[in-house]
Amino acid sequence: MSKPGFDGPLIRLNDCCWKIPRSYKPGMRVDGLIYASDELIEQVRHDQAPEQVANVATLPGIQIASFAMPDIHWGYGFTIGGVCATDPDQGGVISPGGVGYDINCGVRLVRTNLTHQEVQPHLTRLIDELFKNVPTGVGRKGKYHFDMVELRELMAEGVDYLKRRGLATEEDIENTEARGRLDGAAPGNVSDRAIQRGASQCGTLGSGNHFMEVQIVESIHDADAAAVLGLSQDQVCVMIHSGSRGLGYQVCDDALMHLRGVPEKYGIVLPDRQLACAPALSNEGRHYLGAMRAAANYAWCNRQLLMWQAREVFESVFGRPWQELGMSLMYDVAHNIAKFEEHSIDDEQRKVWVHRKGATRAFPPGHSEVPQQYRAVGQPVLIPGDMGRASWVLVGQQGSMDQTFGTTCHGAGRVLSRTKAVALAQGRRIDKELLARGVVARSQGWKGLAEEQPDAYKDVNLVVDVVHQAGLSKKVARMKPIGVIKG
């Protein structure tokens, strides 16, 4: 059922930011801030996502503001593109809705030393082999199987566990956010049902908006940063978008069930039950955080194994080891996660729980958590678009630390529900439309491509323009899709 538009106040602060004042709704502790251009804010007005931004502003312990990125759209509890930080020392809460069902859904970009001209004659075979060898779709099982003991080790150790199994390198780990592991993971907090769902799904792509895409560097916008990131014109790269699969979904589902009645227990009044939460320092809050971290580690392992399989396919198609093909991991970023980070608030350094739901960390040059090789230019930021237009590589900027707790957007953001997208695609062959744009697409069915057709998304170029202009992250390279596999 379609939701009515937002009729509350949206006050322009500057060319990139709009405010929902805390006076809009009883219980708001801070303002809501939405990053958008004039064109994008008109799309936002037709959604109820701004109401969710206002609702998040009521959470105990929230700091500075309830934020939304320009890819904002309706989500569970929090809007997609939602960001908030809560201070546990001020009763700050942790909310599963601020992380999402697909815990640590994220993106990684793999470089190659191949050019578009070298790959184009082999493109159809390459995409067919990727589709044949990389499991895609709902419930698909992969070739990597872990028993319960192994899976708990994997959830505790993250990508370090795969390195011990010969399925990751030290360089892979160095170029993954948080080195592919959140400390404090508690696999014992993950239910048997979640483990059963994840046992054979590590190394699988899943469905929905998840994909593996072969791209070319279409244009360079910052030559110095591109050189540091190892990107050059017409270079072929592989972008992978996936998360924690059924395991993460079940962890979130379990948490929401366990948190029923918990807000009332602690005297927390919520405008929306989907914001179910617990004080971060409570037993209930700690229990969820332990499980969430375990699922996040699983997700990093999932993307690592997806990359490993892509390397094997490239080896087969091009007849050379992946090392000779230059298939190194540029970076991996999470965009559905909560992390305990130090930020400057009211002129003092404080540690807060930063919820990023459909939002990407964007730490600036010089930050200690940026890999040493990228520290001069800032943390790589990967922004997937849609199958027909473009994706972007950016780098984090100081503005993200000054404004949004080190955060930028995560993608294009939907403008059509999946139901509406399917209705719009009736009588059409999306795969042939994409081929006419130079993109070879493979999917498990017509519906998967219909739901994810380019018209279902905002123009990622407009979204990226906002975060670039706002100083949250800086454009480095625009990536053009030439082949994609989906569930």
- Residues annotated as part of the active site: 410
Q: What is the phi-psi region of residue 330: left when phi exceeds 0, alpha when psi lies from -120 to 50, beta otherwise?
A: alpha
Which residues on neighbouring strands pair with residue 477, listed in sequence order? 220, 393
Q: Which residues of 430-463 are buried (b: 16+ CB within 10 A; e: fewer)?
A: bbebbeeeebbbbbbeeebbbbbbbebbbbbebb
- Count the alpha carbons within 13 Å of 95 in the hemisphere toward its beta carbon: 36
Helix, strand or coil for residue 21?
Answer: coil
CA 60 to chain CA mean position, Å: 25
239, 384 Cβ separation under 8 angstroms: yes
CA 149 to chain CA mean position, Å: 28
For 237, phi then psi, to 5°, come to -130, 170
Angle between helix 245-258 and helix 283-318 axes, rounded to 10 deg: 170
274, 133 Cβ separation under 8 angstroms: no
Which residues on neighbouring strands pair with residue 437, listed in sequence order? none
For 69, phi then psi, to 5°, come to -85, 170
Cα 232 to Cα 160: distance, rounded to the nearest angstrom: 30
Cα 100 to Cα 246: distance, rounded to the nearest angstrom: 13
288, 258 Cβ separation under 8 angstroms: yes
For 246, phi then psi, to 5°, come to -65, -30
CA nearest neighbour of 49 among 16, 104, 4, 15 = 4
CA 148 to chain CA mean position, Å: 27
For 399, phi then psi, to 5°, come to -60, -30
CA nearest neighbour of 407 among 142, 78, 161 = 78
Cα 238 to Cα 202: distance, rounded to the nearest angstrom: 19
H-run or E-run covering 123 = helix 123-133
- Count the alpha carbons within 13 Å of 440 in the hemisphere toward its beta carbon: 16
Q: Which residues of 196-219 are buried (b: 16+ CB within 10 A; e: fewer)?
A: ebbbbbbbbbbbbbbbbbbbbbbe
154, 162 Cβ separation under 8 angstroms: yes
In this structure, what DSSP letter does residue 30 have? Answer: S
